[in-house]
């Protein structure tokens, strides 16, 4: 077998006899280098859906957010709670420091904590490396943010980096979901639990201060396709994308959470999205 398989873990669970060295196959690359090319090669499609399809109901819940945050574009004068004060500081920093990754990460992490995504017994990590197998090689995908328990990855967040590169954050987010599924099942293998045949991962991309929400189905079959670089014949993966239903969707990416109308709708989405995390 080619030396390129030397990086495989000893408990690598996939049959590489389908790996045909003679044909032109997708090359292994970091999940952070994934583009639309990888999605096309592995028959992964992203489709925008409405609230009923995404959440199972049309009405979004009331957000458990203070009136100060919902009714003030900028931080008002006077005494504020710690959470309110931090919201405006993190929002301001994320808007001003568009080329600084840490400011966007800090803002996204604060929002997740504000909505108690880290309860119960969950932890939010930044810049977490997750390993998986692509084209016969062990590689990494690095999340901007992830929500984990002691044993499982639950939620992934990838921000847009178009101020540095023209790459779309969606393929990177999907690669991270594949890596998370691989690691979750690896943990189950090592603790004597049965492997899960599939998982739907909640994911978020952040374009500036504008989040977009995803449901990413990952199956054992998709893992095998990616691990062996086999072109799927009839295996089609459909990722659901939900864009918050703001009043002016054409301006959403540019405006993000600055307009109060946008802010209210997005806060509703964060509250609804929490119910999809298992």
Q: Show Cβ contacts of residue 180 under 8 Å, excluding neighbours closer than 6 positions.
A: 130, 146, 153, 156, 201, 218
CA angle (166 as vertex; 164, 167 as ends), nearest 5: 105
pLDDT of residue 163: 45
Write out the DSSP string of 261-272.
HHHHHHHHHHHH
Q: What is the DSSP string of the chain?
A: --GGGGGS-TT--S-GGG--TTS--PPP--GGG--HHHHHHTTEEEEE--HHHHHSSSPPPPP---HHHHH-SSPPSS---HHHHHHHHHHHHHHH-TT-HHHHHHHHHHHHHHTTTTTTT-EEEEEEEEEEEETTEEEEEEEEEEEE-SS-EEEEEEE--TTT----HHHHHHHHHHHHHHHHHHHHHHTTPPPPSEEEEEEEEEETTEEEEEEEEEEHHHHHHHHHTPPPSS--EEEEEE----S-GGGHHHHTT-SHHHHHHHHHHHHHHGGG--
Beta bridge partners of residue 211, listed in sequence order: 206
pLDDT at 48 over 50: yes
Residue range 40-65: mean pLDDT, rounded: 96
Mean pLDDT of 87-99: 87
Please determine, for residue 24, whether its predicted confidence score (pLDDT) is greater than 80. Answer: no
Where is pLDDT greater, at 108 or 98? 108
Average pLDDT of span 228-234: 77
Per-residue pLDDT for 233 more than 90? no
Give the pLDDT mean for 37-48: 95
**Looking at the whole model, is its pTM more than 0.75?**
yes
**What is the DSSP pairing of strand 153-159 with strand 198-207?**
parallel
For residue range 106-164, what is the model confidence (pLDDT) as tens digits? Answer: 999 999 999 999 999 999 999 999 999 999 999 999 999 999 999 999 999 999 865 44
Which residue range is the domain that position 97 belongs to?
Answer: 3-276
CA-based nearest residue to 266, from 39, 82, 106, 69: 69
Number of domains in the chain: 1
Mean pLDDT for the stretch of residues 45-51: 98
First-to-last CA distance in the chain? 40
- Amino acid 3: pLDDT: 35
């Amino acid at each position: 077998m080619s030396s390129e398989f030397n990086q495989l873990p000893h408990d690598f669970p996939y049959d590489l006899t389908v790996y045909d060295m003679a044909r032109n196959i997708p090359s292994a690359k970091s999940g952070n280098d994934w583009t639309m090319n990888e999605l096309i090669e592995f028959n992964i499609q992203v489709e925008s859906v409405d609230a009923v399809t995404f959440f199972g109901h049309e009405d979004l819940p009331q957000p458990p957010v203070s009136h100060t945050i919902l009714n003030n574009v900028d931080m008002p004068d006077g005494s504020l709670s710690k959470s309110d004060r931090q919201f405006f500081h993190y929002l301001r920093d994320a808007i001003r420091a568009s080329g600084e990754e840490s400011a966007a990460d800090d803002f996204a992490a604060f929002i997740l904590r504000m909505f108690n995504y880290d309860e119960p017994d969950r932890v939010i990590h930044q810049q977490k490396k997750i390993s998986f197998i692509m084209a016969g090689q062990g590689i990494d995908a690095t999340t901007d943010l992830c929500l984990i328990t002691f044993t499982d990855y639950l939620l992934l967040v990838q921000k847009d980096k178009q101020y540095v590169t023209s790459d779309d954050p969606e393929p990177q987010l999907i690669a991270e979901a594949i890596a998370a599924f691989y690691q979750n099942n690896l943990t189950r293998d090592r603790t004597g639990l049965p492997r899960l045949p599939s998982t739907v991962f909640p994911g978020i991309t952040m374009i500036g201060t504008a989040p977009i929400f995803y449901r990413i189905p990952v199956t054992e079959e998709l893992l095998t396709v990616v691990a062996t670089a086999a072109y799927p014949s009839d295996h089609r993966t459909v990722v659901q994308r939900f864009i918050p239903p703001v009043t002016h969707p054409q301006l959403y990416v540019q405006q993000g959470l600055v307009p109060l109308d946008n802010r209210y709708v997005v806060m509703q989405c964060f509250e609804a999205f929490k119910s999809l995390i298992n």
